[in-house]
Structure 1
Amino acid sequence: MPAKNVLGGELQTCSKDPLTGFFRDGCCNTGKDDLGLHLVCTRVTQEFLEFSAMRGNDLITPNPMYQFPGLKPGDQWCVCALRWKEAFEAGYAAPVVLDATHISVLEYVDLADLEANAAT
């Protein structure tokens, strides 16, 4: 059965370039091995990238070993549910692509907070 997004529809692709997702399938799919819960499809901002780096997750620097190109503002990327929530609470949340954000994130983040930060 296809995964659902936070709006109740079928989970849409977050990004193929750069290729994102825990499974590197372009979607914010999850599974038992996804301990970070990469559920939130965001359109990253410089402020979010800097906040994440300050919290120990550098998404800016390329890491060829993991086929990670490094992100720049405007890229879409599946981020961890709790990191997005932490950034939201600190005022640095990246805009959310709702139709590409996995429904499981609602166990950690309120839909109203995601909708208030929806990408346009």
Structure 2
Amino acid sequence: MANQSNVLGSPLMLCCGNGGFTREGFCYVTLEDTGNHSVCAVMTDEFLQFSMNRGNDLSTPRPEFAFPGLQKGDKWCLCAARWEEARKAGVAPQVILTATNKACLSIVDLNHLIEHAIDKPQQDTHSKSGG
């Protein structure tokens, strides 16, 4: 799994302490991960409420699943489909592109991720005209 790539095509970086489907902190996507937990997102109160309203309470600790419960500012590997659903509802949390697995691109458009990115890719600042 350590050779998985992020949406920018480079090695996948750490997202959080013990998140992701494998609970290693990386948004690894395995064959067993049918939820595609590939989007490294920074939680907001709005998103946590949205998720709870959809039947997925991410705020309550669940020690039996080694799940600490999330709060605003925590990073977590979200299901790509839930992130996309939240984006369409206007409550998508920001993402960390370097820690977001390219596996999400089968569900989420890269441009939408970039719009919500904390770590936006560097733009070429050299002008091809007049320079």
Q: Under a length normalisation based on structure 2, what TM-score does the superposition of the two structures give?
A: 0.88
Query: In structure 2, what is the equivalent of residue 98 of structure 1?
Result: 97
Query: In structure 2, what is the equivalent of residue 3 of structure 1?
Result: 4
Contact residue 43 and residue 119 of structure 1 kept, 8 A? no
Tell me, in whole angstroms, the C-alpha distance in 2 between the residues paired with 1:63 and 1:105: 25
Structure 1 position 65, deviation (Å) = 1.0
The letter of the residue matching 2:107 is Y
After superposition, give the CA deviation of every residue in 1:20-56 in whole Å (9 maximum; x if it has no partner): 0100111000111101110000001000000000001
Tell me, in whole angstroms, the C-alpha distance in 1 between the residues paired with 2:76 and 2:19: 6
Structure 1 position 79, deviation (Å) = 0.3
Tell me, in whole angstroms, the C-alpha distance in 2 between the residues paired with 1:5 and 1:66: 26
The letter of the residue matching 2:11 is E
Matched, 1:12 2:13: yes
Tell me, in whole angstroms, the C-alpha distance in 1 between the residues paired with 2:62 and 2:38: 21
SS in 1 for 2:67: coil
Structure 1 position 69, deviation (Å) = 0.9
Contact residue 41 and residue 101 of structure 1 kept, 8 A? yes
Query: In structure 2, what is the equivalent of residue 62 of structure 1?
Result: 61
Tell me, in whole angstroms, the C-alpha distance in 2 between the residues paired with 1:68 and 1:105: 22
Structure 1 position 64, deviation (Å) = 1.2
Matched, 1:114 2:110: no
Q: How does 1:46-85 map to 2 (within 5 A)?
A: 46-85=45-84
CA RMSD of aligned residues (A): 1.0
Query: In structure 1, what is the equivalent of residue 37 of structure 2?
Result: 38
Tell me, in whole angstroms, the C-alpha distance in 2 between the residues paired with 1:47 and 1:55: 12
Tell me, in whole angstroms, the C-alpha distance in 1 between the residues paired with 2:23 and 2:82: 19
The letter of the residue matching 2:36 is L
Structure 1 residues without counterparts, runs of 5 or longer: none
Structure 1 position 104, deviation (Å) = 1.0
Structure 1 stretches of 4+ moved >2 Å? none
Structure 1 position 67, deviation (Å) = 1.4
Query: In structure 2, what is the equivalent of residue 21 of structure 1?
Result: 20
Aligned residues: 118
SS in 2 for 1:41: strand
Structure with the bigger RCO (C-alpha within 8 Å, sep 6+) is: 1
Give the structure with higher Rg (CA).
2
